[in-house]
Amino acid sequence: MSLARYVEMVRAREEEIAKLIGSLSKKSNGFESPKVILTGGYGLRAFIPFQRSTRACDFVLRKEDGWYLDEIKRWLIKDSSVEAFEKKNGSGYMRCIKLIKVGRRSIRASLDFMEGEVTGRAEKDVVKIDKKFVSESWKTGIRVADREIVVRVPRYLDYFMLKVVSARASDARDIATLVWKNGIPEGLKERVNEVMPCPEVYKEKLRRSILPLMKDKRFLHSWRGTFMATEFNGEVKEQIIEQLSKLLT
């Protein structure tokens, strides 16, 4: 695929995501009813001065009476199709997708919702969405395609915690950028104990996934390729590794 075609596809997906976020904002009264909180790669834009391409737009909600997912499903059914929908043990997950034609290709724009808790790939990878997660979330404008959209995002402490628990290669690059621009959030240990049923997972993710990825000699190149910037260098990387390593003590 040529660079020009790739850029065209990224732009098309961003434009569709912007429309879907705008529709969700309107339906939820500006992310107030219910309080729908943006996380993931699009949420990252609230904390750092760089953007990266991402296929999915992730949201979380607190579980209260009934299921917000049922309501959001009704809102989005005209604009997208439901690819996955699951509710069990007081938590739920839904993925809505929209297929977009770009030339002869079809690309996907996805909206993912987790209600009650955020879960990872392993059974113990669980973060509860509690009252504090919602009450201390805040509204800010982020850039999506050619629009400035006001969204609700978690406070930095909670967002950082979700990134570490996710622990993919893209999360390692995001975490490095977050620490570089914002430092390590205060109160991390206490917050992990509050909302993670298995708090030991947090250090395991740092020790076994995040730090090894950052220490890899290819990390600097992958970071620059992701964020399309050159400011990040080896010295900065080593400083970040040192800061994160202190969380293991």
For the CA atoms of 146, 149, 155, 157, the dihedral, rounded to the nearest 10 degrees, stands at -20
Statement: the pTM of the whole predicted model exceeds 0.85 = yes
User: For residue 35, what pLDDT is reported?
Assistant: 98
Q: How confident is the model at residue 10 (pLDDT cuts 50, 70, 90)?
A: confident
pLDDT tens for each residue of 21-36: 999 999 999 999 999 9
User: Cis link prior to 154 (omega < 30° from 0)?
Assistant: no
Determine the pLDDT at residue 20: 92
pLDDT score for 227: 94
Q: What is the mean pLDDT of the chain?
A: 95
Which residue, chain included where needed, has tokens 């620059």? 224
- At residue 2, the pLDDT reads 73
Per residue in 212-242, pLDDT (tens digit) is 999 999 999 999 999 999 999 999 999 999 9
Domain coordinates in residue numbering, the chain: 1-154, 156-249
pLDDT, mean of residues 47-61: 94
Contacts for 222 with CB less than 8 Å, ≥ 6 apart: 169, 173
pLDDT of residue 4: 78
**pLDDT tens digits, residue range 175-208?**
999 999 999 999 999 999 999 999 999 999 999 9
Q: Is residue 1 predicted with pLDDT exceeding 70?
A: no
For residues 146-173, average pLDDT: 97
Summarize the confidence of residues 101-128 as an average pLDDT: 92
Residues 6+ apart with CB under 8 A from 228: 50
